[in-house]
Structure 1
Amino acid sequence: MSKLRVVSQARSSKSRSSTTSLAKQAESEANKAISLDPKDAAAYILKALALDLQGYKTSALDSLDIALSPLAAKSLTDKERGDALFKRAELKVSVNRRGGRVDSAIEDLTKAVELSADNGKAFCLLGECYEIKKMKADAKAAFEEALKVEPSSNVARAALDRLGS
């Protein structure tokens, strides 16, 4: 079974114990891949996804930091790097909605949408971060971009309604 398929199955599992078991399996596979090629960012991203599914958000952040380090990031396409930046920002926001984490998440998301302009979720999260920082105009602009990318985005539409657009 492919490593990514295990993470996908863990995400869609209805049972918490099955999710945890599959996530641990994916983490183990990622660790094997890392031992074979410590410069392969994909293995660190897989490990981060598995750790996140197990509830280990700070460890998942650490793994994404390694994946996005100059040594490993060279193995990623722009889109993959953008997706990894989005995931790291998502984790940062979920761990701490105040201060530096939000500022750092905004940096990641700004770069993520430059690299992968079709990521509506990244634009939505960027808008949410701007809202947290009380930057209403920037938040509106981010949510409007999200709607351009994903016209059916209920999150972006609700946010724009909330912000008075």
Structure 2
Amino acid sequence: MAPEVFVQLAFLILTLGLFFAVLKLSKQALNKVRTKNRGTLQSNRHFVHGSHLLARARSTAHRDQSLVHAKNALAEAEKAISLSPRDSASHFLKALALDLMDRKTSALRSLDVALSIPCVKSLSERERGDALVKRAELKVAVNRRRRIDSAVEDLVEAVSRTESNSKALCLLGQCYEWKGLREEAREAFEKALTVEPGSLVAREGLDRLGSCSS
């Protein structure tokens, strides 16, 4: 066999080998993407179902039935998390279900995960603000004396992200009031009234502080 033919044959074999290697790797990558997409789709289904169950738990007047729906919502949230552990929304759903079941310390831990990196990257500014407000609520409920400063930090960040959040402003005003910071509390309540003129919480707060705000 001539040297030129031998070189060409060797080159052809090498080219075919590389082609099949790339083809195999491409198929493996495609399968991984398909598996990931399938897992994301299933996770979203569990999240949506859990959200519906949580809404039913909140809307029913019967405590026992509400707990049943909350427990089922929790189960759906955990299934969603098992498929997409970095999806902050599923951790948030889990926290809300736990809170409805009066498991506030566990709910607080779930919110800590939801607001941690990399999970928090999946939240919009508004969603992140809502999660911060909910975490602040839980901190105050679990142990106001020890956690109030941390709750204030969450609320200040929430307001900085969405200044139109009346609930955050009202809770921030209450926290300042508990800390004896009357002027800061008054300012927060007044801002809440600017956002939501009909807010009873803000007006009651200003009344306690002796404000003449109309």
TM class by shorter-chain length? over 0.9
CA distance, structure 2, for counterparts of residue 141 and residue 70 of structure 1? 32
**Percentage identity across paired residues of the two chains:** 58
For residue 116 of structure 1, what is the aligned residue in structure 2? 162
RMSD: 0.9
CA deviations over 1:14-36 (Å, ceiling 9, x no partner) = 01111110000000000000000
The higher radius of gyration belongs to 2
> How far apart are residue 95 of structure 1 and its match?
1.1
Structure 1: gaps of 5 or more residues: none
Matched pairs, number:
164
Q: Which amino acid in 1 is paired with 2:204?
A: A
Q: Indicate whether 1:153 and 2:207 are aligned.
A: no
TM-score by length of 1: 0.97
Tell me which of 94, 97, 102 is aligned to 1:50: 97
For residue 23 of structure 1, what is the aligned residue in structure 2? 70
> How far apart are residue 115 of structure 1 and its match?
1.2
Check whether the contact 2:49–2:73 (CA below 8 A) recurs between aligned residues: no
More helix by share: 2
Check whether the contact 1:83–1:116 (CA below 8 A) recurs between aligned residues: no
> How far apart are residue 94 of structure 1 and its match?
1.0
Q: Indicate whether 1:144 and 2:186 are aligned.
A: no
Q: Which moved more, 1:64-73 or 1:3-12?
A: 3-12
Check whether the contact 2:49–2:76 (CA below 8 A) recurs between aligned residues: no
CA distance, structure 1, for counterparts of residue 80 and residue 87 of structure 2? 8
CA distance, structure 1, for counterparts of residue 165 and residue 181 of structure 2? 21
